[in-house]
Amino acid sequence: MALDGTYDQSLSRRAMQAELLDAETELKLAYAWRDHRDEKALHRLVTAYMRLAISMASKFKRYGAPMNDLIQEAGLGLMKAADKFDPDRGVRFSTYAVWWIKASIQDYVMRNWSMVRTGSTSSQKSLFFNMRRVQARLEREAASVGEELDGHQLRQMIATEVGVPLHDVEMMEGRLSGSDYSLNATQSTEDEGREWIETLEDDSEQAAELVEHDHDIDTLRGWLVSAMTQLNERERFIVKERKLRDEPRTLESLGNELGLSKERVRQLEAAAFGKMRKSLEGQSREVFEFFG
């Protein structure tokens, strides 16, 4: 397989030269793989129907995917079909494999159509692969009788034809009509044109907001330091341990250290906060949240 994205014609030639299996041989190989996991039988079965996979892959070239990649995905679908095929059902392997090959190719095309996920539900997949064809047919039929459909009428008719909700048609139309662009592309053809990324709003904090925030923090810190001077040494210690540590200490651990009961430490803490509130009256609501 070519590694540069070009189509390797030898793949088709080898596939066309592979043996054609009659129904009896196909059944024998299918049983050998299902019952005995005979890899030689699997290889022979898959190789014989690789021409089918390539033929189906070629029908999706219009979506812009490299032919080699389409063939690879078709081959993966063929392998899945071989692994899940039940020869007891009386169906030819080629008939069964068609669904798996097509599903594998379609999933690949939809994954790679755009960086934005195009859709994954059955209705979205049906729209993706049929919308343009149905639209062209409806427009031809309307033109043949001298009618001209507006956008809403056309979308409504497509929704009815494909059997999907109208909003799905509207969403898919928008996705299929656009393409992915780099945010580093310029908005004009001029060399000095600004890039599209420059038009995006910056969600991070702006310089003015950062300066204002830092100023407020410094002001609050100054008020708290001033209020702390109104406390005695034991009260300052309790406030620091209860409010200014990353992991505040419990009343019980402070009581053990100070030789006081848990309730007495709580009373001292409340008294200290009362003194600080009185000192900070009229300053700022944010300061009082400190004592919440």
Per-residue pLDDT of 5-63, as tens digits, reads 445 577 778 888 889 999 999 999 999 999 999 999 999 999 999 999 999 998 888 77
pLDDT in tens, 119-162: 556 666 677 777 777 888 888 888 888 888 888 888 888 888 88
pLDDT for residue 4 is more than 50? no
User: Rounded CA gap, 247 and 243, in Å?
Assistant: 9
Domain boundaries, the chain: 9-113, 122-177, 207-289
Residue type, 53: A
Of 170 and 174, which is predicted with more confidence?
170
Gap between the Cα atoms of 224 and 252, Å rounded = 25
pTM above 0.85, yes or no: no
Rounded Cα distance, 236 and 269, in Å: 9
**Integer angstrom CA distances of residue 146 from 140, 154, 155:** 10, 15, 19
Q: Which residue has the higher pLDDT, 113 or 97?
A: 97
Q: Torsion over CA of 197, 128, 163 and 100, rounded to 10 degrees?
A: -140
The CATH code for residues 207-289 is: 1.10.10.10
Q: How confident is the model at residue 226, as a pLDDT?
A: 80
Q: Find the mean pLDDT for residues 168-175.
A: 73
CB 29 within 8 A of CB 41: yes
pLDDT in tens, 110-125: 777 654 444 556 666 6
Name the more confident of 158 and 221. Answer: 158
Confidence of residue 263 (pLDDT cuts 50, 70, 90): very high
In this prediction, residues 78-107 reach a mean pLDDT of 92
Q: What is the pLDDT of residue 228?
A: 82
Percent of the chain residues topping a pLDDT of 70: 74
Residue with the larger pLDDT of the pair 257 and 289: 257
Q: Report the residue count for the chain.
A: 292
**Topology (CATH level 3) of domain 9-113:** Four Helix Bundle (Hemerythrin (Met), subunit A) (1.20.120)
Tell me which of 89 and 120 has the higher pLDDT: 89
Looking up tokens 């299929």, which residue turns up? Answer: 176
Q: Residue 133, exposed/middle/buried by CB under 10 A (0-12, 13-18, 19+)?
A: exposed
Residue 166: pLDDT band with limits 50, 70, 90: confident
Residue 286 has pLDDT above 70, yes or no: no
pLDDT at residue 223 above 60?
A: yes
Terminal alpha carbon distance of the chain: 70
Q: What is the pLDDT of residue 5?
A: 43
* Residue 155 contacts residue 167 (beta carbons within 8 Å): no
Give the Cβ contact number of residue 70 at 10 Å: 24
Give the mean pLDDT of the chain.
78
Mean pLDDT along residues 228-253: 87
pLDDT at 116: 42
